[in-house]
């Protein structure tokens, strides 16, 4: 059931258009068009010209009427195609909702203090659709989880591929930040008790279906504002064309209402009017394709406005595990000596740090053309403990210890090393150097037989920044977005990593309250804040942030608090979300500019055509040398309709967005869509005229 | 007639004078609208009309004050006009007819100063001075107050719709700005030869034996505020073409300077008030660009003079004063239509067809090149909001201007503002050119007749007040129609502007970032200029085609 991850293969636009045709025809209902005054005016114009064409048939009237209808249809088609893209996903999600039988535990969840064997609980078998928030159900291996909820008892591996597209099963367990389960997913092993958190019909999958189908789409603030501007433009042009009849009458010429309607439709911003809702639907769809569910379109738009991005260090900026990056030997100790000691002490060490030491040393020794020592067979591993703060290995001939500087020093003293040898001097310099760079120093010492221990050197462990992060943060900066790294580390470590990763700021030793305070402070200064989080303690901050992206692995509380959920649980996705938000606005702005710039050429086509009979001198304005007035008018109308179809792919895909400063973006888009919008129709109308002039009677 | 060198010379003198005066006056204006202190004379006037000058008014209160004050002005002026014959210093003129008094009252209160009558042949000194001249000051003051309120709204943050105090803005504008400057200007004009007296018309026996009544009067004092407040109502019918109003090329340039200086300085003051001079500079740059283009085009049209008759005469001198020539006439025409002044030093009906088209287009721009005192600034700021909205979307953020987000309500108000004038012009024009009463007033037919009628409604709706001539507007039909155009053309936009000011004042002022569209760079200046031209162009091109464009091509 890998439906939307990775993105499915695109079918050609032609077949998508054909498929969307019935829906597009249904959308011609004027009530459906009421939300878009621009298209409503076109439809009224289509009806009017059709009547005129019936009453007084002429090639021009019939042509105009036909193409005005096509203009409306192309608009509804764009919307239908955008919606159609979500249909397939919705169908596969619906399959998750098939009714199952749930085993509901008797009694309310508050009374449930049960910690024994889940199989002994008393249950009722009820249909999954009758479950309400607060009910507790038991789910076993092979069963479908009947509704959204939190695991309150037990651990299980769950197949969530139907929702996330990720085929590897995930662990869900009670308590902690991995307790949320989604209705419709399948338990693969073990048995869990789940407290249902959603009412029937309002589950996560329900919302997903509504989102991908676009049925619950609410228009976003910027879209509403743009619609108002488009309506105002339409109103102006209605007045312009309406009064033109009377003013022309004064001038002794009477343009026909067919021609005036054609002029009106060409002038009002039909291009953007027709594509506006398709752009919005496609924008949401792009997010869904990246496995992000936005609970509202408002949140997507807000993402484009974000000024500050709060990113957790672990897992987002760094890999999350400290890795050995360097071995620093003291004077008198050879590189091979420390390498061998580090390797021996780590071979059996299964912690990520231990393994990273092995990786580092093996690489180093191989290049040094020396064979790594065989794994010790009779050695016994000394695991790390909080009291000794050391780990190591006891071999028959020697003892190796690695650990925090003070702990190793203490151990060395106990073997008879004088204090002066470990305090101060070269070792301290090395240890402090590593700490200052944000790393963790691990001192390695060796004791051969019963002699006093010998300190060999320092292993440099550090948090490794994911590759490419610096570039992404540079892009963010260019876009005017400040990145703040949130970490529980101390300030020194945090600063070093912040510098390495290239973030603008950091919040060290951060508690959830600190995070919240930071968000409030930024918002108080008028900035929009985005963050992601997964734990229950992140929930207040997620709710406070303007864009809160909850990880799908997180708790239900976090998912409810945020306004987006990332199904891949990838915190870096936040950056993609911001880009999608921006792209959405840019596409609208670019097509509006294009639409308005188009009008200039249309005037040059239609105005001379309208008045050239009364004022032959106006032929000078016929700069495109269109063959006849009828052909000129028809060419403009046809161009106006065809440009909508031509721009459907762009409105679905979105205008290409490259992170850069506002001034650069503006210059680029103005050049493409402003100047392009000015020039394109001159060429297009001329070409259409060459074809249309061949039609007899035009 | 006039050659290129003096044409460029007068522009150079004008530009130099403006370059010196505008920053200085702009700083002063910003101080006037932000200073917490009141002058003694101001305090006295506040006590007299019982207002609290320190009350920070909500935009609704501010707007009601504007409307109430203006309504009172209309009523007083209407009464003065109707009862003129019963008042002193009437020079024996009878009272104005009802439609004429209405038209004149609205005309002066709206800063339009459209005159359907000949000043020297219909109105006495008292009406001119106490009625019209008073409105010349206060109607200009109202425009500047509204602009100051909008600037304040943009400068403030989270102020719950409060935009300042109308009474204090108005009184300060008159007392601290308009009165002192026009006093100095009037003295200078008298020194340069403009008439100033309160005498009865003097009877002159001409050489030919005829008898002429030469009307003098307080011309210089009215001339100063006529230009300074971008009013434009002339003491004489011939307006600034009359030698008593504008005797020499020097007074001509000085008068042009007066009508341009405050509109430009308002832009500079705006930058200071919002705490970023570069923003004021950008607005100023757009104004200068549009004005410069208008001057260049009009001068070209008049001097290059397409057509055979002007060609033979060496220039399009019909309807122009020989003491100014075409270049000075073109400069004046571009400036008077670019500002909402409407004073003329030549008859615009006699401009060449393209020249007349430029004058018409200048007004259609909505008076933003550089516009009337105050109204030029707020008109351009409204267009800036439209520009920011379009361009802002293209940079991928919710558009914001000076840290104020442009949302649904802001766009609605701006859309209403942008809609108002075109609807008035086009619907008014269609009515005027269709109704038989309207057609009766037109001197010409065909495209030139259309230009005449269109010019009248455009001038009235945009509160310019210049007349194309060739139209007899002293009929009840035109007086009523144009009166309505002036009234709605002035106060509807003002209400939208004040509502927007209130909305902005209540919004949080957001800090700029690299992702914010910069509104002080040359690119934005070009874009704003482009939006002004395209929006206006798309609206009016069809009618312009039927009028000046057809005329120019034939």
pTM: 0.86
SS3 for A328?
A: strand
Token duo for residue B418: 């942008």
Mean pLDDT value across residues A271-288: 89
What distance in Å separates residue B28's CA from the closest CA in chain A? 31
Task: Please report the pLDDT score of residue B113 as a whole number.
Answer: 85
Task: Please report the pLDDT score of residue A215 as a whole number.
Answer: 56
Contacts of A599 in chain B (CB under 8 A): 538
Nearest-by-Cβ selection for A221 from B396, B408, B415 = B408
Nearest-by-Cβ selection for B389 from A229, A482, A525 = A229
> Which residues are bridge partners to A533 per DSSP?
A550
Q: Taking CB atoms and an 8 Å limit, are A222 and B393 in contact across chains? A: yes
Task: Please report the pLDDT score of residue A109 as a whole number.
Answer: 55
Task: Please report the pLDDT score of residue A113 as a whole number.
Answer: 53
3-state DSSP of A630-690: HHHHHHHHHHHHHHHHHHHHHHHHCCCCCCCCHHHHHHHHHHHHHHHHHHHHHHHHHHHHH
What distance in Å separates residue A618's CA from the closest CA in chain B? 7
SS3 for A149?
A: strand
Distance, CA of B90 to CA of B87 (rounded, Å):
6
Residue with more model confidence, A120 or A659? A659
Instruction: Label residue B50 left, alpha or beta by phi (over 0 means left) and psi (-120 to 50 means alpha).
Output: left
User: Per-residue pLDDT for A427 more than 80?
Assistant: yes
Complex ipTM value? 0.93
Average pLDDT of chain A to the nearest whole number: 84
Residue with more model confidence, A213 or A244? A244
Q: What residues does each domain of chain B span?
A: 374-553
β-strand pairing of A170-173 with A155-159: antiparallel
Mean pLDDT value across residues A655-673: 89
Cβ–Cβ < 8 Å for A456, A446? yes
β-strand pairing of A155-159 with A186-189: antiparallel
Task: Please report the pLDDT score of residue A638 as a whole number.
Answer: 96
Give percent helix, percent strand, percent coil of chain B, each to the nearest 5: 65, 5, 30
Assign A325 a pLDDT band (cuts: 50, 70, 90).
Answer: confident
Task: Please report the pLDDT score of residue A196 as a whole number.
Answer: 86
Nearest-by-Cβ selection for B422 from A236, A527, A657 = A236
Residue with more model confidence, A257 or A334? A257
* Mutate: best of B158, B282, B391, B393, partner A, most A CBs <10 A: B393
User: Per-residue pLDDT for A441 more than 50?
Assistant: yes
Task: Please report the pLDDT score of residue A2 as a whole number.
Answer: 37
User: Per-residue pLDDT for A8 more than 50?
Assistant: no
Task: Please report the pLDDT score of residue A7 as a whole number.
Answer: 44
Cα dist from B450 to A330, B258, B456, whole Å: 97, 32, 10
What distance in Å separates residue B415's CA from the closest CA in chain A? 6
Contacting residues for B151 by C-beta, under 8 A, at least 6 apart:
B33, B269, B270, B273, B274, B377
> Which residues are bridge partners to B363 per DSSP?
none
Cβ–Cβ < 8 Å for B366, B492? no
Contacts of A267 in chain B (CB under 8 A): 538
Contacts of A482 in chain B (CB under 8 A): 513
Residue with more model confidence, A555 or A187? A187
Q: Taking CB atoms and an 8 Å limit, are A239 and B527 in contact across chains? A: no
SS3 for B462?
A: coil
Contacts of B418 in chain A (CB under 8 A): 232, 236
Cα dist from B75 to A352, B36, B71, B82, whole Å: 88, 33, 6, 11
Q: What is the pLDDT along chain B (554 residues), one digit of tens a residue?
A: 456 787 888 899 999 999 999 999 999 999 999 999 999 999 999 999 899 999 999 999 999 999 999 999 999 999 988 988 888 777 778 888 999 999 999 999 999 888 888 777 778 777 877 778 889 999 999 999 999 999 999 999 988 899 999 999 999 999 999 999 999 999 999 999 898 887 777 888 888 888 888 878 888 888 899 899 988 888 888 888 888 889 998 999 999 999 999 999 999 999 999 999 999 999 999 999 999 999 999 988 888 765 545 555 556 777 788 888 888 888 999 999 888 888 888 888 888 888 888 888 988 888 888 999 999 999 999 999 999 998 888 988 889 999 999 989 999 999 999 999 999 999 999 999 999 888 888 878 888 888 888 999 999 999 988 887 777 778 899 999 999 999 999 999 999 999 999 999 999 888 887 778 889 999 999 999 999 999 888 999 999 999 888 888 87
State which residue of chain B sits closest to A228, comparing Cα positions: B412
Assign A1 a pLDDT band (cuts: 50, 70, 90).
Answer: very low
Cβ–Cβ < 8 Å for B343, B232? yes
Q: Taking CB atoms and an 8 Å limit, are B513 and A600 in contact across chains? A: no
Cα angle B482, B487, B493 (rounded to 5 degrees) comes to: 125
Residues of A noted as catalytic: 312
* Closest by Cα among A272, A585, A224, A225 to B386: A225
Sign, CA dihedral B271-B274-B277-B282, equals negative
State which residue of chain B sits closest to A664, comparing Cα positions: B395
Cβ–Cβ < 8 Å for A476, A468? no
Task: Please report the pLDDT score of residue B404 as a whole number.
Answer: 92
Cβ–Cβ < 8 Å for A619, A680? no
Task: Please report the pLDDT score of residue A420 as a whole number.
Answer: 67
Cα dist from B539 to A238, A440, B339, B543, whole Å: 10, 70, 20, 9
- A364-387 pLDDT, tens digit per residue, is 665 554 555 555 566 777 777 777
Tokens 């007819």 sit on residue: B97
Inform me whether the C-beta atom of residue A85 falls under 8 Å from chain B C-beta atoms. no
β-strand pairing of B211-214 with A149-153: unpaired
Helix ranges, A401-447 (H) = 405-414, 419-422, 425-436
Inform me whether the C-beta atom of residue A621 falls under 8 Å from chain B C-beta atoms. yes
User: A 562-591 residues with CB below 8 A of B?
Assistant: 581-583, 585-586, 588-590
DSSP string, B5-64: HHHHHHHHHHHHHHHHHHHHHHHHHHHHHH-----HHHHHHHHHHT--TT--EEHHHHHH
Picking from A309-323, A573-587, A675-689, which range would have the lowest pLDDT averaged per residue? A309-323
Q: How many CB atoms lie within 10 A of CB A436?
A: 12
State which residue of chain B sits closest to A584, comparing Cα positions: B396
Q: At residue A404, what are phi and psi to the nearest 5 degrees? A: -60, 145
Q: In residues, how long is chain A?
A: 698
Contacts of A585 in chain B (CB under 8 A): 393-394, 396-398
State which residue of chain B sits closest to A268, comparing Cα positions: B538
Inform me whether the C-beta atom of residue A524 falls under 8 Å from chain B C-beta atoms. no
- B286-333 pLDDT, tens digit per residue, is 999 999 999 999 988 888 765 545 555 556 777 788 888 888 888 999
SS3 for A299?
A: helix
State which residue of chain B sits closest to A665, comparing Cα positions: B395
Nearest-by-Cβ selection for B545 from A305, A600, A607 = A607
Token duo for residue B549: 């464009």
* Closest by Cα among B416, B467, B457, B468 to B540: B457
Picking from A74-78, A447-451, A679-683, B156-160, which range would have the lowest pLDDT averaged per residue? A447-451
């Amino acid at each position: 059931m890998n439906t939307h991850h990775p993105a499915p293969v695109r079918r050609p636009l032609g077949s998508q258009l054909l498929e969307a045709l019935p829906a597009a025809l249904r959308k011609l209902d004027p009530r459906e068009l009421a939300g878009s005054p621009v298209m409503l005016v076109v439809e009224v114009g289509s009806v009017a010209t059709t009547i005129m064409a019936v009453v007084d048939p002429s090639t021009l009237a019939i042509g105009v009427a036909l193409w005005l209808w096509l203009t409306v249809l192309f608009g509804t088609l764009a919307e239908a195609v955008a919606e159609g893209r979500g249909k397939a996903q919705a169908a596969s999600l619906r399959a998750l909702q098939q009714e199952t039988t749930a085993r509901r535990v008797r009694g309310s969840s508050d009374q449930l203090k049960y910690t024994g064997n889940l199989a002994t609980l008393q249950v009722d078998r009820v249909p999954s659709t009758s479950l309400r928030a607060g009910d507790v159900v038991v789910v076993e291996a092979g069963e479908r989880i009947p509704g959204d909820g939190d695991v309150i008892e037990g651990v299980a591996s769950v197949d969530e591929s139907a929702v996330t597209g990720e085929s590897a099963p995930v662990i869900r367990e009670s308590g902690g930040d991995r307790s949320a389960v989604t209705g419709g997913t399948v338990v693969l092993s073990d048995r869990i008790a789940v407290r249902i958190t959603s009412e029937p019909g309002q589950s996560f999958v329900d919302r997903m279906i509504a989102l991908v189908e676009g049925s619950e789409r609410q228009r976003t603030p910027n879209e509403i504002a743009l619609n108002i501007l488009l309506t105002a433009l339409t109103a102006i042009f209605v007045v312009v064309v309406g009064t033109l009849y009377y003013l022309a009458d004064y001038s002794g010429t009477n343009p026909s209402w067919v021609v005036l309607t054609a002029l009106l439709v060409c002038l009002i911003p039909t291009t953007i009017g027709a594509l506006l809702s398709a752009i919005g639907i496609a924008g949401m769809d792009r997010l869904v394709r990246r496995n992000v569910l936005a609970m509202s379109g408002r949140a997507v738009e807000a993402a484009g406005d974000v000024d500050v991005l709060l990113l957790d260090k672990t897992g987002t900026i760094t890999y999350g595990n400290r890795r050995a990056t360097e071995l620093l030997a003291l004077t008198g100790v050879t590189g091979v000596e420390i390498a061998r000691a580090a390797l021996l002490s780590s071979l059996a060490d299964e912690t990520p740090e231990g393994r990273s030491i092995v990786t580092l040393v093996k690489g180093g020794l191989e290049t040094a053309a020396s064979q790594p020592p065989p794994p010790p067979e009779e050695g016994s591993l000394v695991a790390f403990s909080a009291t000794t703060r050391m780990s190591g290995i006891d071999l028959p001939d020697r003892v190796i210890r690695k650990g925090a500087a003070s702990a190793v020093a203490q151990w060395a003293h106990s073997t008879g090393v004088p204090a002066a040898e470990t305090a101060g001097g070269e070792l301290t310099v090395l240890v402090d150097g590593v700490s200052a760079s944000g790393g963790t120093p691990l001192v390695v010492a060796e004791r051969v037989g019963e002699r006093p221990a010998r300190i060999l050197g320092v292993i440099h462990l550090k948090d490794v920044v994911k590759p490419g992060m610096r570039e992404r943060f540079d892009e963010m900066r260019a876009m005017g977005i400040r990145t703040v790294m949130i970490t529980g580390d101390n300030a020194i470590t945090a600063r070093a990593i912040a510098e390495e990763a290239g973030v603008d700021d950091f919040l060290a030793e951060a508690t959830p309250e600190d995070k919240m305070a930071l968000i409030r402070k930024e918002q108080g200064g008028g900035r929009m804040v985005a963050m992601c989080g997964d734990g229950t303690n992140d929930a207040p901050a997620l709710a406070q942030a303007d864009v809160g992206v909850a990880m799908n692995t997180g708790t239900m509380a976090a998912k409810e608090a945020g306004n987006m959920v990332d199904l891949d649980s990838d915190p870096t996705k936040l950056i993609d979300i911001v880009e999608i938000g921006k792209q959405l606005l840019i596409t609208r702005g670019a097509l509006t500019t294009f639409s308005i710039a188009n009008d200039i050429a249309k005037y040059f086509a239609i105005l001379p055509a309208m008045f050239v009979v009364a004022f032959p001198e106006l032929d000078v304005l016929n700069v495109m040398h269109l063959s006849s007035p009828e052909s000129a008018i028809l060419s403009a109308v046809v161009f106006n309709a065809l440009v909508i179809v031509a721009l459907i792919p762009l409105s679905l895909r979105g205008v290409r967005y490259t992170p850069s400063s506002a001034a650069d973006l503006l210059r680029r888009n103005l050049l493409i869509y402003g100047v392009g919008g000015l020039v394109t129709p001159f060429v297009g109308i001329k070409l259409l005229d060459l074809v249309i002039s061949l039609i007899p009677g035009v | 007639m006039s050659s290129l060198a003096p044409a460029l010379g007068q522009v150079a003198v004008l530009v130099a004078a403006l370059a010196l005066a505008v920053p200085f006056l702009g700083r002063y204006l910003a101080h006037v609208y932000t200073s917490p202190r009141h002058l003694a004379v101001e305090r006295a006037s506040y006590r007299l009309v019982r207002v609290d000058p320190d009350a920070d008014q909500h935009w609704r209160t501010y707007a009601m004050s504007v409307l109430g004050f203006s309504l009172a002005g209309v009523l007083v002026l209407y009464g003065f006009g109707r009862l003129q014959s019963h008042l002193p210093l009437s020079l024996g003129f009878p009272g104005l007819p009802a439609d004429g008094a209405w038209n004149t009252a609205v005309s002066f209160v709206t800063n339009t100063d459209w005159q359907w009558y000949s000043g020297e042949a219909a109105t006495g000194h008292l009406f001119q001075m106490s009625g019209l001249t008073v409105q010349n000051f206060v109607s200009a003051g109202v425009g500047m107050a509204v602009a100051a309120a909008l600037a304040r709204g943009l400068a403030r943050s989270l102020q719950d719709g409060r935009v300042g105090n109308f009474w204090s803005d108005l009184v300060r504008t008159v007392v601290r700005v308009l009165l002192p400057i026009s006093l100095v200007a009037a003295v200078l004009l008298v020194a340069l030869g403009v008439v100033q007296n309160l005498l009865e018309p003097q009877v002159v026996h001409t050489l030919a034996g005829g008898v002429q009544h030469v009307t003098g009067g307080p011309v210089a004092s009215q001339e100063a505020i006529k230009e300074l407040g971008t009013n434009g109502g002339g003491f004489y019918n011939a307006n600034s073409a009359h030698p008593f109003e504008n005797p020499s090329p020097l007074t001509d340039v000085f008068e042009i300077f007066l009508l341009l200086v405050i509109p430009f300085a308002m832009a500079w003051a705006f930058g200071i008030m919002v705490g970023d001079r570069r923003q004021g500079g950008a607005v100023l740059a757009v104004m200068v660009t549009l004005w410069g283009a208008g001057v260049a085009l009009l001068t070209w049209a008049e001097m290059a003079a397409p057509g055979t008759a002007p060609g033979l005469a060496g220039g399009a001198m019909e309807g122009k004063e020989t003491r100014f020539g075409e270049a000075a006439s073109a400069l004046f025409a571009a400036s008077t239509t670019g500002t909402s002044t409407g004073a003329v030093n030549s008859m615009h009906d006699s401009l060449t067809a393209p020249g007349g088209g430029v004058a018409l287009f200048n007004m259609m721009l909505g008076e933003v090149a550089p516009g009337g005192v105050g109204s030029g600034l707020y008109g351009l700021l409204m267009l800036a909001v439209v520009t920011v909205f379009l361009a802002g979307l293209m940079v991928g953020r919710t558009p914001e201007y000076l840290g104020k987000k442009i949302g649904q309500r802001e766009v609605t108000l701006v859309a209403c503002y942008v809609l108002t004038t075109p609807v008035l012009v086009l619907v008014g024009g269609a009515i005027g050119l269709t109704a038989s009463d309207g057609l009766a007033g037109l001197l010409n037919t065909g495209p030139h007749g259309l230009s005449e009628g269109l010019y009248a409604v455009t001038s009235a709706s945009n509160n310019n007040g210049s007349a194309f001539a060739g139209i007899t507007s002293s009929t009840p039909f035109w007086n009523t129609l144009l009166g309505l155009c002036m009234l709605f053309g002035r106060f509807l936009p003002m209400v939208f502007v004040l509502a927007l000011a209130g909305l902005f004042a209540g919004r949080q002022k957001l800090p700029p970032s690299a992702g914010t569209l910069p509104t002080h760079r040359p690119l934005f200046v070009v874009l704003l200029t482009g939006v002004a031209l395209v929006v206006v162009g798309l609206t009016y091109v069809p009618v312009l085609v039927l009028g000046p464009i057809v005329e120019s091509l034939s």
